[in-house]
Structure 1
Amino acid sequence: MVEFPTLQFLQVLSEEEQNALAATPAHPAGLYALYASCVAGNLVEQLWNFAWPSAIALLHPSLLPVAVIGFFTKLVIIGGGPLIGKLMDHFPRVPSYICLNIVQAAAQLLSASMIIYAHSVPHSSTSSMLLRPWFIVLVLAGAVERLFGVATGVAMERDWVVLLAGINRPIALAKANAVLSRIDLLCEIAGASLFGVLLSKFDPVTCLKFAAGLMLCSLPIVVVLTWLTNKLSTGVLDRTKTSQTCCRTATGESLPEDDNIVDIGLEAIKHGWKEYIQQPVLPASLAYVLLYFNVVLTPGSLMTAFLTQRGLNPSIIGAFSGVCAFMGVAATFISANLVRQFGILKAGAVGLIFQASLLTLAVGVYWSGCLTQQSPLLFFLSLIVLSRLGHMSYDVVGAQILQTAIPSSKANIIGTTEVAVASLAESVMLGVAIVGNDTSQFGFLAMLSLLSVVGAAWMFCRWLLNPTDKQRSLFSFDPHF
């Protein structure tokens, strides 16, 4: 008589063990190296984001040069985002990321050189400045710098961190996303503060030379840390992306080698928009895009101009921007707890509803007509400050939703296309603000901003209440869903 071996029962993890596993990154050492790389890269990037408009503004009191550079940059991101995302999806991660950083640093150095040259020649009127060769080069270099900066950010936030933290470890991924957002916000505060202090003590040319030196020093550090990230994660970044090879598209078609760059670019844009629209979590992404229509009820240039017209003390205006940034840092701590308590999807709804509720109160305070007094104005600003908790919470959680649902083979092209759509939304609202540029129209702009945030919350919650089978399958690990 033949005896069969006794079947062993598979051990089922307890709830505590499942939570511990969900909170443990797949490659913790590689994740720490990634954080260090982000600190080195983001500090220089955020310093430069503050440095170039400050240095340009010192050349002429008009805001037109800065506006022209910003607007053209958004156009390049809208058109070039899908193209560079497609290229990133067809090349190995580490070499392509290093190339992106090298090009971005070169564009920053070229921009710094052009501004230094501009400060060394006699000042001209704003209209003639726009036609100068150095300004044209600055516009082009600035657009390339932002485009490649966006690409490196998408690679880190939508692809690399998912592999290092683990797509099936939601708490660890939420914590990693929170740390990346925290690094970005802290670097923004540090970079702006550092260049601001330097600018108050030294002339602009000296400050720009310091910024250029910092760019040259940080680039090799970022390259080494990038290599170290892959080494400490046992080469997980070298793995082939799912459903693709390095020379074929996601649909299995060969890349068009014989077509000109225009045809390739148009095909990439069309492919990027197609993939973006077909993604399984499109409502979550559109909710993120809708938040970019809110260009008024944020600590941006329009709010600064409005508060200045109201005669508010400049120190209070500066404190408002600083506290909003620190609220963003606080939100990165809160988002991980929200994911643990409510799950990924419900945590996103909580953040959006919280932001929409507080901004509704803020707009109500504005329309009450009592902002002529300082106390109601400060209460109005406090509501906006608190709303940043909801905004940044969804920023972190929303990124994790897309990380979970989008395969690595399409992460870059969908991520860069999303940035392009968000840039389009922001440019549309800036166009409306240009038309209604009088402070008496601020209430109308505030109402449009509020409607965009409320629309984002409504769209996300409606999607959450009517899940599809695909959605249930993607988020089956979420115990709260």
Structure 2
Amino acid sequence: MVRISGEAVELANEGSLPAQEVPQTSITRSQAVKLYISHALSTWNARGYEFATILFTASAYPDTLVAAAIRMTIVYFAMILFSSVVGRWVQKSPNRLRTLLATIFVNRASVLAGAFFWLLILSQEDLIGSEGRFSLAKNDTLKHILFVVAMSFGIIERLSASGNLISMERDWVVTVAAPSGRPYDLTHLNAVMRRIDLVCKLISPILISVVISALDSVRIGVVYTALTSMVSIPIEAISARRVWDDNPSLRVPKEVPPEGETPPLQSGTMSWRTQLRQYLHDSKMYFSTTVWIPSMALAMLYFNVITWRATFITYLINVGYSLNTITIARTIGSLFEISSTVATPRGVEYLGKSYRSVPQDEHESEVGLVSGEDSQSVRDTRTLVGLQRFGLWGFTWQVFNTAPVVVALFAITAPRVQDGGINVFASRMVDRAADYTLPAPPVGWSIVLFSFLAISRFGVWIYDLTTQQLTQTLVPSHQRSSFAGVETSMMNIVQLFAGGAAIAYPKTDQFVYLASASFVVVVLSWLMYASWVYRQRGHLVHWEKLGQGLFVGGR
């Protein structure tokens, strides 16, 4: 028996604009392609600049990790403080096109300005040598000032990129999506948009690395990043404009939050008390929705250090893996991530089919995203059920495949000692000049580590996609963007805790403690989501259909 709480149904109804306000037109293939182009260019630049600033910082401060740590800490704090403000601004801006174009132009302007200051930093003699062309005199004070300015533009870039993503995912896509079960419905659009994001996440950083390596100049990488951002502006803006022109639903002014429901946006500089009140108000709204638990469970996953971030990559290098091995493993993992965007629409459809369209009792009548028993409301309800079930399936897949990864990390780290029981990592820290040969990581455990890590990423992005659609569907339309802003803030808070844990346990042989803590957080997140699904449906698994449900197509 399928149960969906009345609160979920009510919020689902509130999450759609009234029929008389929005023309019932479905997005066409041509419009979808233009939407994808605009999103692809935004994502390509955001992913590229995110990776490029890591390289620029490492080149500017080659002998220390302090600059990188300071930059990331400040960026996280800025995202925590201002993400909800950005989400509220997107929510209260009635013209969708102006909002999206504003995020595009601000983002590109911040990249160009930041690139200019990075060029000045990287042109100092101590970084390129006194014989370098267009070199500037070494001046540490000026270098630090320029770094702060470049970092400030980097914060603007991140906030504008976040605003662009919120506007696109929580407004444009939801508005133009076709009804459930039809071509270009919300599940299909979300899957393609996430596929674009993951492909850009894989290729854009690689291309920047290739440019820098081939020309042997980080400064050329700065120029390449700036030119890429500048060239993409007209294509991205024109694509978005044409989608807006061709789709009547987008041209309808957005639903503005009811008067008094959100604090007004004030012009000029707001006091910290006002900003705090607005942040607390948005947070209260976030936790009052029916989907804050799936959203928070997703945010908690950002604590996981067993992902392809700087901490994990540094650990792999320190235990003896080559950059080529790491690159290959990361690429394989990305392929699993991309494949999740293909599997999700099919999985949601399949697991939603078991919903009984004929009510079995009084609790099952008139449930769905739209009240009534017409075929569309049944499809909507099946989609909701499929999202809940397939999200749980993906999350469970991640938990079971993360456990072997942690075991492999212990097995790889524990024997990293030389004769006499001296820890190789500790010996290197004591005497870097001494020749401590690091034994090659065991092949068997390496296969376990990288294979299960790659497979686990399949489940991670299934859960990410299904949760995104749940929040798009079950959060009222006049709160979606504000909700997304708070959600982004929560993710950055968790990332900040993860960074703090890495600072507290910085040694290579201590990484297993971080990995163990990550697994515990993943399990706790799964328990949160599983309990939410149980409350929504009244059960987790149809045990009588378990064997049948393990195989797609088996009925």
TM-score category, normalised to shorter length: 0.7 to 0.9
Q: 1:458 to 1:58 in 2, by over 3 A?
A: same
Does residue 80 of structure 1 match 2:92? no
Q: Who is 1:476 aligned against?
A: none
Q: Who is 1:17 aligned against?
A: none
Residue 243 of structure 1 and its aligned partner are, at CA, apart by 5.3
Give the Cα separation in 2 of the matches to 1:188 and 1:339: 25
Residue 385 of structure 1 and its aligned partner are, at CA, apart by 0.8
Does residue 302 of structure 1 match 2:314? no
Residue 365 of structure 1 and its aligned partner are, at CA, apart by 3.3
Does residue 409 of structure 1 match 2:492? no
Whether the 8 Å contact between 1:41 and 1:219 is mirrored in structure 2 is no
Give the Cα separation in 2 of the matches to 1:168 and 1:410: 22
Whether the 8 Å contact between 2:401 and 2:455 is mirrored in structure 1 is yes
Deviations 1:309-362 (CA, angstroms, capped at 9, x unpaired): 211222111111222222111111111111111211101100100000011122
Does residue 418 of structure 1 match 2:418? no
Q: 1:258 to 1:433 in 2, by over 3 A?
A: closer
Give the Cα separation in 2 of the matches to 1:255 and 1:204: 41
Give the Cα separation in 2 of the matches to 1:169 and 1:281: 23
1:348 to 383, 387, 391: 391
Whether the 8 Å contact between 1:30 and 1:231 is mirrored in structure 2 is no
Give the Cα separation in 1 of the matches to 2:149 and 2:201: 26
Give the Cα separation in 2 of the matches to 1:74 and 1:425: 10
Alignment of 1:461-472 (within 5 A): 461-467=530-536
Q: Who is 1:271 aligned against?
A: 281
- Give the ranges of 4+ consecutive aligned residues of structure 1 lying more than 6 Å apart after TM superposition: none
Q: 1:239 to 1:464 in 2, by over 3 A?
A: same
1:228 to 231, 242, 245: 242
Residue 267 of structure 1 and its aligned partner are, at CA, apart by 3.2
Does residue 361 of structure 1 match 2:404? yes
Q: 1:157 to 1:238 in 2, by over 3 A?
A: same
Q: 1:370 to 1:213 in 2, by over 3 A?
A: same
Give the Cα separation in 1 of the matches to 2:286 and 2:525: 17
How many matched pairs? 441
Give the Cα separation in 2 of the matches to 1:84 and 1:313: 41
Give the Cα separation in 2 of the matches to 1:200 and 1:351: 38
Q: Who is 2:51 aligned against?
A: 50
Residue 213 of structure 1 and its aligned partner are, at CA, apart by 1.6
Q: Who is 1:316 aligned against?
A: 325
Q: Who is 1:332 aligned against?
A: 341
Does residue 445 of structure 1 match 2:523? no
Give the Cα separation in 2 of the matches to 1:366 and 1:264: 47
Give the CA RMSD over aligned residues.
2.5
* Code of the aligned partner of 1:95: R
Q: Who is 2:67 aligned against?
A: 65
Whether the 8 Å contact between 1:25 and 1:173 is mirrored in structure 2 is no
Does residue 210 of structure 1 match 2:212? no
Give the Cα separation in 2 of the matches to 1:233 and 1:106: 28
Whether the 8 Å contact between 1:130 and 1:136 is mirrored in structure 2 is no
* Code of the aligned partner of 1:35: Y
Q: Say which one has the larger Rg.
A: 2
Give the Cα separation in 1 of the matches to 2:71 and 2:527: 34
1:393 to 456, 462, 468: 462
Q: Who is 1:31 aligned against?
A: 32
Q: 1:238 to 1:82 in 2, by over 3 A?
A: same
Q: 1:121 to 1:258 in 2, by over 3 A?
A: closer
Whether the 8 Å contact between 2:336 and 2:457 is mirrored in structure 1 is yes
Residue 418 of structure 1 and its aligned partner are, at CA, apart by 0.4
Q: Who is 2:552 aligned against?
A: none
Partner SS, residue 123 of structure 1: helix
Residue 168 of structure 1 and its aligned partner are, at CA, apart by 4.8
Deviations 1:131-185 (CA, angstroms, capped at 9, x unpaired): 7221110111111110111111111112211111146558821111111111111
Q: Who is 1:20 aligned against?
A: none
Q: Who is 1:281 aligned against?
A: 291
Whether the 8 Å contact between 1:118 and 1:134 is mirrored in structure 2 is yes
1:173 to 161, 180, 186: 186
Q: 1:358 to 1:179 in 2, by over 3 A?
A: same
2:233 to 188, 196, 219: 219
Give the Cα separation in 1 of the matches to 2:268 and 2:142: 37
- State the identity as a percent: 23
Give the Cα separation in 2 of the matches to 1:230 and 1:393: 29
* Code of the aligned partner of 1:38: H
Gaps in structure 2 of 5+ consecutive residues: 1-23, 128-137, 352-385, 417-440, 539-548, 550-555
Q: 1:326 to 1:258 in 2, by over 3 A?
A: closer
Whether the 8 Å contact between 1:69 and 1:139 is mirrored in structure 2 is yes
Partner SS, residue 132 of structure 1: helix
Whether the 8 Å contact between 2:257 and 2:479 is mirrored in structure 1 is no
Residue 397 of structure 1 and its aligned partner are, at CA, apart by 1.0
